[in-house]
Amino acid sequence: MKKFNARWQLVVYDILILFVVDLLLLVFYRSNEELSLDGIVLHAGISFVCVFTARIFGSIYRQIWRYGGIQCYIRLLIVDAIAFAATLAIELTLPRFVSIEKVTFSRLLSIASMNLLGALAIRMIYRYCFKCGTADTAFGKFLRLLLRIFAGEELIHPNREAEHKIKIAIIGAGRVGVTLAEELLANPAAAYLPRCFIDVSQEKAGREIHGIPVLMEDETTLETLSRHEVQEVVFAIPNMSDEKKRELFAAYSEAGYKIKVYDYPIMQTAEKKRYLRDFDIEELLFRKPIAIANEKTDAFYRDKVILITGGGGSIGSELCRQLAKMGPKQIIILDIYENGAYDVQQELKIAYGDKLNLQIEICSITHRQALERVFEAYRPQIVINAAAHKHVPLMESNCVEAVYNNVFGTKNLVDLCEKYGVARFMMVSTDKAVNPTNVMGATKRMCEMIVGSASVWGTATYSSTRFGNVLGSAGSVIPLFKRQIAGGGPITLTDKRIIRYFMTIPEASQLVLESGAMAKNGELFVLDMGQPVKILDLAESMIRLSGVSGIQIVETGLRPGEKLYEELLVKTEELDKTENSLIFIEKDTPLPREELERRLEILKNAVDTGSNEAVRRALKQVVPTYRSPEEVNARAEQAAEMKMQKESVGV
């Protein structure tokens, strides 16, 4: 009923406008041709029939004008042009059949133009009223607005709720920033109120968009923002450079402003919707997340049976999410930790329902018989090994378990891949395997050797993929810092000089999938991860983002096996390029099968002793690049990675 009333109210207003126009131009307007009362009524009737017939058939009254865009006004313009053409045709032919005074072309054009102008004006006034919060239903309150105009009252955003809203400055007066402002102004329930734009364009500076002033970035001071009552700053420039993002983030966060980001994907999909969110951990890297997956990769995994070990973990679960989009025949999640496997199972069930064939198997990769039952039951075509003990300090005091799980678990998988005819095996590795200084890194390097050796004598296609620290993964530094900030601090750093390479969980997972798809056999893939990040800078940025003052940063000393820097993965002069400019291949000579077996036997004998020290000594025998952290850290200041990090922050 409400829609009916609103629609017919608009018709009534349009009739009134046409009546006033006809009254002015047919009755009061004096010209050479004088019209009789019958002529006035007839001409008015012709224009009425033509205009409203055209508008009804042109669906003008089916549009919701409070949200009307430029296309709605263009439609009205075209429809009224058709109505004018029809009116003109009737006016030219009617005198042949009826005795009637003629109306000049100029007068007919004036009637059509003024009527169109009135129709456009009333729709624009209504849309403005609605945005400003003075129109609750249809046109009932626009007369009040007209009275206020004649009274000379200020009309900029007369929203009674404005004083309770969070005032924001929008960085960027382009399409994305303007879209955000429009959405906030059009929504009376929005928690935010845009007070100004900040832009680098001299053409826009000093002007207004929807009544909101555009400030020149170089001339915007804290005093200016204070005058506009700005409380938070929103980044609304999708293609902002890393350097510019770093500069603006530092300036506004140090000034005490909370920073948000407006995501506005070019292609709106069910998964990608525009929204205003807090400045996320990915932005702390000051680089855009790297999108790796492509159609070729999708096609490789489509209709395949895929087993993911460690599928309930941070990387494993994201691998499941990425693969689910690619249309696999079946995904088998294998994990020893049932809660993680259950969580990802429920998430994917909600997202895909019966469209995804998903199976869960709870067992350890060290349990050979249970693992073999899984291979026998599902006959996977692709196996991705993301199961591993990964915490460096914990593995330093649990060397036996680290080798048993990481090394011999991987060996079990390789053996079963050969026994059950698996087509492809993909190993998830780490940058800590590069010249390792800890047990965890040494075991992962040994896993790479197992996979590389199998590529020589095995029937499956084997590959390993290395990447750095993963943002937001279980046990990583970001969740730790968040908990420490929430608890009032302090943030604990083992050493303020520490640097690391970071990537997001989706990036890491996509890298594994694409590199696995492009593997020929035996490759050790690495990713160009960009500039290293100083953990101290990361901690300071998170404190600023939190808006909490007084959080201290405390050094606790390096942990066992920890080094100040992870070595650069991508040394382009030592690596082979791939079709993806971000993925490289390490030149790694595979071990002969006999040599691999000899080294595994050394490790097995050490594990059987149950002695951590025996295992550590054995690892140094079988992994020649395994060195002590003290040796590496003593030369840290001369390392290329440390120098690169200093240069990247201008030290």
| pLDDT tens readout for residues 531-561 | 777 888 888 877 777 667 778 888 887 766 6
Q: For the chain, give the mean pLDDT.
A: 80
Lowest mean pLDDT among 251-265, 327-341, 358-372, 479-493: 251-265
Residue 88: the pLDDT is 84
Residue corresponding to tokens 């002007």: 207
What pTM value is reported for the model? 0.64
Domain ranges of the chain: 2-151, 162-279, 295-470+502-530+567-646
Is the sign of the CA dihedral 276, 279, 281, 283 positive or negative? positive
Query: Which helix (DSSP H) or strand (DSSP E) does residue 343 occupy?
Result: helix 338-352
pLDDT at position 12 is: 81
Mean pLDDT to the nearest integer, 449-470:
90
Query: Which range in 87-101, 455-469, 494-508, 560-574 is most confidently predicted, on average pLDDT?
Result: 455-469
Q: Look at residue 565 and tell me whether its pLDDT is greater than 70.
A: no
Each residue's pLDDT tens digit, 25-68: 777 776 656 667 777 788 788 888 888 888 888 877 776 665 55
- Structural tokens at position 362: 């709870």
The CATH code that applies to domain 295-470+502-530+567-646 is 3.40.50.720
Containing H/E element for 470? strand 469-471
> What is the helix, strand, coil percentage profile of the chain, to 5?
50, 15, 35
| pLDDT tens string 99-156 | 677 777 887 888 888 888 888 887 777 766 665 554 444 444 554 555 444 434 444 4
pLDDT at 627 (0 to 100):
82
The yes-or-no verdict on residue 321 having pLDDT over 90 is: yes
Distance CA 458, CA 454 (A): 5
Mean pLDDT for the stretch of residues 405-413:
96
Please state, in angstroms and rounded to a whole number, the distance separating the CA atoms of residues 385 and 310: 7
CA dist., res. 575 & res. 587, Å (int): 6
For the segment 345-351, the average pLDDT, to the nearest whole number, is: 93
Among the residue ranges 377-381, 475-479, 586-590, the one predicted with the least confidence is 475-479
Residue type, 371: L
The pLDDT score that the predictor gives to residue 138 is 42
Please return the burial class of 155, using the count of CB atoms within 10 Å of its CB with bins 0-12, 13-18 and 19+.
middle
Q: Looking at the predicted structure, is the pLDDT value of residue 316 above 80? A: yes
Name the phi and psi angles at 560, rounded to 5.
-55, 130
Q: Which helix (H) or strand (E) holds 261?
A: strand 258-263
For residue 388, name the pLDDT band (cuts at 50, 70, 90): very high
Structure tokens at 459: 């029937």
pLDDT at 4: 44
In sequence order, which residues have a C-beta less than 8 Å from that of residue 367 and are 6 or more positions away?
none
Q: What DSSP character marks residue 441?
A: H
Sort 559 into a burial class: Cβ within 10 Å, 0-12 / 13-18 / 19+: middle
For residues 624 and 537, the model is more confident at 624
- Cα separation, 181 vs 599, whole angstroms: 64
Looking at the predicted structure, is the pLDDT value of residue 69 above 60?
Answer: yes
Q: What is the pLDDT of residue 105?
A: 81
Q: Look at residue 255 in the predicted model and tell me its pLDDT.
A: 82
Span of 383-392, 421-430, 460-469 with lowest mean pLDDT: 460-469
CATH topology of domain 162-279: Rossmann fold (3.40.50)
